Structure 1
Amino acid sequence: MAQIVGGPAAWRGPEIADLPDWKIELTPAHVAELHAALAGVDRPGIGLREITKERFPLPTLGTVLAGIVDELVDGRGFLLLRGVPVEGLTERQTELMYWGIGLHVGIPIHQRGEDDLLIHVRDQGVDRNDPLVRGFQTAARLDYHADSSDVVALLCIRPAMRGGVSTIISSVAVHDEIVRRRPDLADLLHEPWWHDRRSGNGPESFFQCPIFAIEDGRLFAHYGRAYIDSAPRGEGVPELTPQQIEAMDLLDELDNSPDFPLNMNFAPGDIQFLNNYTIMHARTDYEDYPEPERKRDLIRLWLVLDRELGLPKDFVEGGIVPRTVARHGAAR
């Protein structure tokens, strides 16, 4: 039977919105370290995989980033880092700096193809109804979901002209509320569910994983309704039952109630770090500036943490790149 989890990750947005401790401002010394580290790797033809943590030294900022990992794992599960010096950098220089920051948090993994280590989240004018299109490729609203990595990091280069607000919720708080209201549906959400990676049409695009699981008193969540709704396109994947639809309806109702979300309006140089197992994120739809050089642009990193998290078995193997592969250096 599903149980209430609680703890520091069971926060509610309205209760913490005005607290300053989930934001970290970079100091001038941190900014100087970033510029110096960038100068050391900004070479023609250098590949991202050639840049290691040791080649991107951050003497004092590295300690701050290590503290972010502690907060992601044992605290609220998110942080906003502000003041990354993106102004005046080329796109390539921005990517190199961001990559270096990411190396001090975790191990980057690819997100679609082998070379997709950094993904630009911007409107590509594609059909959002195509089952192989991913939400980050459109300007449409994104429903609450978790990505396929331990941590997702988003660096803002330019915000949209209107909209594009990032909203996050505590999966732990929502889970606990479902246990209180409908323990029968909470139990169902702890059973195996089919998910669609949208990586193609073959069997590798589909996997089973509970939406919620508890291991050693910790909650782990993996949810994205669009990717569950499309899973029956896979051979041998059954249609959703009325009870499963009811469970997701309740989950979505709570996600979108005013009791849980925390909104973030990104500014250039902001990096949002989220623990995918305890945080779900969404985005409002947005409208871009007409000039191409002013269009909304965020860069996404998927990171695996180089520490044991006590994940349930299905979560260990459920991502785009299994954690065991990433931690043995395949995506370093």
Structure 2
Amino acid sequence: MKPITHQRPAPWTTPDALALPAPIAEELEGLLGQLVSGTSHAEHAQRAQQLRHAIHHQLESGSGAIWLHSAALARASREAFHHAFFEFCTLLGLPVSINKNGDVIKEVKDAGHKDSKLAPARGHMTNQELAFHSDRADITVLACWEAASHGGEFKICSSAKLIEVLEKRNPDWIKWLTTPIPHDLRDEGSSGDSYCHLPILSESDDAFVLRYIRKFNDSAIRHGIALPDEVKTMLSEIDQVINHPDMSVQVSFEKGSIALVNNHTTLHSRTEFVDAPGAERCLLRCWLASEFTRPLPEAFSTIFHTIQPGVLRGGVRPA
């Protein structure tokens, strides 16, 4: 098996970066078909070891993202779909809590909420456009049960490509990219704190880590915290770079589509969507840690609870 490393991966901008090698994709589809039939991941643990390693190699050492369509999931009943998704996720890693209720699998659909700087709401409960960001977990897994009537396209960007462009455009940004800046905890901090300070970029001989979620920087204003003017300018330039059409790959969810993203080496976004009457857009989402993940910078202990790799970390601590 290829060794898994955590240094800065090669930058990419094309859809082929999201594809698994054909033999691995075929093996995965076979496994999903068996999970849809009602088996548990424990029954396939030995067979799946090479498959798990190949998936995590691409997530950790490769592009950091995987996109595929499963015919088995597309044909599945709702109950079988949910079962197969849960079993697949628990085969890959350790599910972490997505909210204060302790949920590890959550439906991503419009629940009528609206997110704003001064009144935060979780993006997965809205139909709003979601800017490029990284989630509060090592890996995000999404599977589509029902596509939107209109919109809801998914975009994925290489964090290494973003840094490569920024380094060329303005090397002075590295100072601010690696300086901890205010980060709103949006009432989901585990220590009672309202906000913390996190760097956007952390890079060492052991690991490359980029965390970007600008609305969490902007909404620190709720706590009387103002961003330095240089930081505001840098964030605007990051948005300008990352939103260029050539910087990301856009895909459209349909029933059976699966996306896996490494939140330390990629960023993802979503366009606004519209539901059709009686057919609500619905994805299943799970956040994972695994034995293959990377060490994190010390500052991340506030949001990941521990920075050590290979343990249950990340997510929202249940109330």
User: The TM-score by the shorter chain falls in which range?
Assistant: 0.7 to 0.9
Is 1:224 the counterpart of 2:246? The answer is no
The equivalences for 1:308-319 within 5 A come to: 309-315=294-300, 317-319=301-303
- The one-letter code of the counterpart of 2:253 is F
Stretches of structure 1 lacking an aligned partner (at least 5 in a row): 41-52
- Identify the residue that residue 44 of structure 1 maps to in structure 2: none
For the structure 1 residues 328 and 123, does the alpha-carbon distance in structure 2 shift closer, same or farther, using more than 3 Å as the test? closer
2:292 aligned residue (294, 307, 310): 307
Is 1:186 the counterpart of 2:174? The answer is yes
Shift of 1:114: 4.1
For the structure 1 residues 213 and 20, does the alpha-carbon distance in structure 2 shift closer, same or farther, using more than 3 Å as the test? closer
Q: Identify which range, 79-88 or 205-214, moves more after superposition.
A: 79-88
For the structure 1 residues 59 and 274, does the alpha-carbon distance in structure 2 shift closer, same or farther, using more than 3 Å as the test? same
- The one-letter code of the counterpart of 1:230 is S
**TM-score, scaled to structure 2:** 0.85
CA distance in 1, matches of 2:100, 2:84: 22
- Identify the residue that residue 21 of structure 1 maps to in structure 2: 19
Shift of 1:285: 0.7
**Any idea what SS the aligned residue of 1:172 has?**
helix
- Identify the residue that residue 161 of structure 1 maps to in structure 2: 149
CA distance in 2, matches of 1:94, 1:285: 25
- Identify the residue that residue 122 of structure 1 maps to in structure 2: 109
CA distance in 2, matches of 1:143, 1:329: 24
Please report the RMSD computed on the Cα atoms of aligned residues, expressed in angstroms: 2.9
**Any idea what SS the aligned residue of 1:104 has?**
helix
Contact 1:149 1:319 in 2 (8 A): no
CA distance in 2, matches of 1:23, 1:295: 33
Is 1:256 the counterpart of 2:243? The answer is yes
Contact 1:192 1:209 in 2 (8 A): yes
The equivalences for 1:6-85 within 5 A come to: 8-12=9-13, 16-17=14-15, 21-22=19-20, 25-26=25-26, 29-36=30-37, 38-39=38-39, 54=42, 57=44, 60-61=47-48, 63-83=50-70, 85=72
- The one-letter code of the counterpart of 1:327 is V
Shift of 1:18: 5.2
- The one-letter code of the counterpart of 1:211 is I
Shift of 1:34: 1.4
For the structure 1 residues 329 and 186, does the alpha-carbon distance in structure 2 shift closer, same or farther, using more than 3 Å as the test? closer
Shift of 1:232: 3.0
Contact 1:9 1:278 in 2 (8 A): no
Shift of 1:19: 6.5
- Identify the residue that residue 50 of structure 1 maps to in structure 2: none
- The one-letter code of the counterpart of 1:96 is H
Cα deviation 1:185-241 (Å, max 9, x = unaligned): 22111100121232358843422210011021642111111111112323xx63111
For the structure 1 residues 318 and 72, does the alpha-carbon distance in structure 2 shift closer, same or farther, using more than 3 Å as the test? farther
Is 1:106 the counterpart of 2:106? The answer is no
2:73 aligned residue (79, 86, 108): 86
- The one-letter code of the counterpart of 1:223 is Y
Q: Identify which range, 248-257 or 202-211, moves more after superposition.
A: 202-211
Contact 2:142 2:283 in 1 (8 A): yes
- The one-letter code of the counterpart of 2:298 is K
Stretches of structure 2 lacking an aligned partner (at least 5 in a row): 1-5
CA distance in 2, matches of 1:166, 1:76: 16
Shift of 1:181: 1.1
Shift of 1:96: 2.6
Paired-residue identity, %: 24
For the structure 1 residues 31 and 73, does the alpha-carbon distance in structure 2 shift closer, same or farther, using more than 3 Å as the test? closer
**Any idea what SS the aligned residue of 1:183 has?**
coil
Shift of 1:80: 1.5
- Identify the residue that residue 123 of structure 2 maps to in structure 1: 135
Contact 1:219 1:277 in 2 (8 A): yes
- Identify the residue that residue 284 of structure 1 maps to in structure 2: 271
For the structure 1 residues 252 and 262, does the alpha-carbon distance in structure 2 shift closer, same or farther, using more than 3 Å as the test? same
Shift of 1:35: 3.2
Q: Identify which range, 99-108 or 320-329, moves more after superposition.
A: 320-329
The equivalences for 1:241-252 within 5 A come to: 241-252=228-239
CA distance in 2, matches of 1:19, 1:329: 27
For the structure 1 residues 30 and 308, does the alpha-carbon distance in structure 2 shift closer, same or farther, using more than 3 Å as the test? closer
